[in-house]
């Protein structure tokens, strides 16, 4: 496992400025969430929830809480993920990649997601507004190659979502694994 202590320290300092931050979760709450999900969170994502807070920080102070929704949010990470996984045997064109957690609701049905199956915790942008027809693979973009990189971008105030960002400066590539994971 990589050592994220320095990055976590910087995130803690920045998150302390948020008026939405929730207290960190316990080890028991993390285990409950992972049991409900059926897989482990990416180690850095788990560390954020255990050491920084249970949501309410990050870009737009809007990281979703893990288990219980923040009063300003509709769903928690667990609720949002489980609500997007169609029941086994369901005949539907809609699918959601297993192990990809929606962690931040950008609005307009767009989500920042962490691929907990990738070693680096690739951060994906799910934007269903980008698709035509029923090809969901066209709705998945790579926002950052890793969760650590995504956090560094946020800490530097350089994300595509920042007020001072210029449209067109952020050309995200399609997530090449989308077709095989949906």
What is the domain class of 5-87+95-159+172-181 according to CATH?
alpha beta
| Cα dihedral 66→70→73→76 (10° resolution) | 20
Q: Which has the higher per-residue pLDDT, 132 or 110?
A: 110
pLDDT of 49-107, one tens digit each? 999 999 999 999 899 999 988 777 789 999 999 999 887 777 666 789 999 999 999 99
pLDDT band at 11 (very low <50, low <70, confident <90, very high): very high
Q: How many CA atoms lie within 13 A of 111 on its CB side?
A: 20
Closest CA to 144 of 181, 107, 178, 115: 115
pLDDT value, residue 1:
47
Beta strands at 100-107 and 110-115: parallel, antiparallel or unpaired: antiparallel
- pLDDT one-digit tens code per residue, 144-177: 999 999 999 999 999 999 887 765 556 799 999 9
Cα–Cα separations (whole angstroms), residue 23 to 26, 35, 46, 95, 179:
9, 21, 14, 33, 37
């Amino acid at each position: 496992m990589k050592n994220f202590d320095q990055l976590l320290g910087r995130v803690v300092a920045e998150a302390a400025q948020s008026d939405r931050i929730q207290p960190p979760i316990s080890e028991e709450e993390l285990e409950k969430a992972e049991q409900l999900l059926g897989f482990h969170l990416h180690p850095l994502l788990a560390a954020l929830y255990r050491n920084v807070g249970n949501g309410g920080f990050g870009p737009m102070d809007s990281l979703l809480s893990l288990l219980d929704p923040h009063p300003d949010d509709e769903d928690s990470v667990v609720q949002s993920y489980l609500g997007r996984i169609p029941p086994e045997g369901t005949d539907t064109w809609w699918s959601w990649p297993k192990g990809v957690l929606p962690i931040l609701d950008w609005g307009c049905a767009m989500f920042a997601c962490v691929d907990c199956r990738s070693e680096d915790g690739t951060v994906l942008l799910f934007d269903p507004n980008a698709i035509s027809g029923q090809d969901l693979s066209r709705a998945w973009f790579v926002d950052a190659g890793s969760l650590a990189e995504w956090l560094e971008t946020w800490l530097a105030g350089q994300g595509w979502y920042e007020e001072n960002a210029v449209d067109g400066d952020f050309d995200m590539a399609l997530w090449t694994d989308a077709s095989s994971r949906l």
